[in-house]
């Protein structure tokens, strides 16, 4: 048996491995690794409100969404949990508190993937070009055994590179119209 010798960090410098991302960085540097999916997974029955709290504590993370038996069914990140997206789903019978991750996640069968081998020989700009040509905002990364090993998110890359984000169309009018229709609101003259 081996005895470990713990010590306090005190004034010892601790380096955290973090690479600044640029367009010529290896594409793998932009990948969120899925080493232990239980650390980055949420149950599909979790409420959207609770998931938003988790997302705020782990910015930039894309979570796997799992069913009751632990099999992953999809992914959810900031774009799926954005307030403007959630408001478009609100109606008389559906409230933000009754929505679950199963209602808002990107289903597994709608996601696209690349192989880890292909990714190792690509740059961040190659990934952005691929994502813009497919209209996808995410790519799953699978190894030679088709095991999920990472996720690449275009919004995360855009933020890290400080690139201008794609302009989002204003949904305010659409949300007001939907609330009007779903709640039969009358406009006072």
Residue 138 belongs to domain with CATH number: 3.10.580.10
What is the reported pLDDT for 38?
57
Look-up of token digits 């380096």: 15
Mean pLDDT of the chain: 79
In a domain, 109, yes or no: yes
User: Structural domain tally of the chain?
Assistant: 1
Domain assignment present for residue 46? The answer is: yes
CA-CA distances (angstroms) from residue 140 to 110, 129, 153, 183?
11, 16, 9, 39
User: What letter does residue 142 receive in the DSSP assignment?
Assistant: E
Inside any domain, residue 146: yes
pLDDT for 168-187, tens place per residue?
444 455 555 555 555 555 54
In a domain, 181, yes or no: no
Domain with 122, as residue range(s), is 27-164
pLDDT tier, 56 (very low <50, low <70, confident <90, very high otherwise): confident
Does residue 85 belong to any structural domain of this protein?
A: yes
Residue 185 has what pLDDT? Answer: 52
pLDDT: is 18 or 135 the higher one?
A: 135
Q: Do the domain assignments include residue 21? A: no
Whether 173 maps to a domain, the answer reads no
Q: What is the mean pLDDT of residues 46-64?
A: 88
φ/ψ of 122, rounded to 5, equals: -120, 165
CA angle 117/107/54 to nearest 5° reads 90
pLDDT at residue 15, as a whole number: 41
Here the tokens at position 176 are: 């007001």
pTM (whole model) above 0.75: no
CA distance to 27, 82, 120, 162, 165, per residue, from 24 (Å): 8, 30, 13, 14, 19
- Residue 51 inside a domain? The answer is yes
């Amino acid at each position: 048996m081996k005895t470990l010798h713990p010590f306090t960090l005190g004034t010892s410098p601790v380096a955290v491995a973090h690479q600044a991302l640029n367009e010529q960085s290896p594409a793998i540097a932009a990948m969120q690794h899925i080493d232990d999916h239980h650390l980055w997974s949420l149950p599909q029955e979790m409420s959207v409100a609770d998931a938003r709290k988790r997302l705020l504590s782990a910015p930039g993370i894309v979570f796997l969404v799992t069913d009751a038996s632990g099999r992953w069914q999809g992914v959810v990140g900031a774009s799926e949990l954005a307030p403007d997206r959630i408001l478009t789903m609100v109606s008389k019978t559906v409230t933000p508190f009754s929505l679950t991750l199963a209602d808002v996640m990107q289903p597994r069968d709608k996601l696209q993937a690349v192989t880890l081998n292909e990714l190792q020989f690509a740059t961040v700009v190659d990934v952005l070009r691929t994502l813009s040509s497919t209209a996808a905002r995410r790519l799953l990364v699978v190894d030679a055994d088709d095991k999920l090993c990472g996720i690449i998110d275009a919004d995360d890359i855009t933020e890290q590179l400080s690139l201008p984000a794609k302009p989002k169309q204003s949904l305010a009018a659409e949300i007001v119209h939907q609330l009007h229709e779903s709640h039969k609101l009358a406009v006072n003259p």
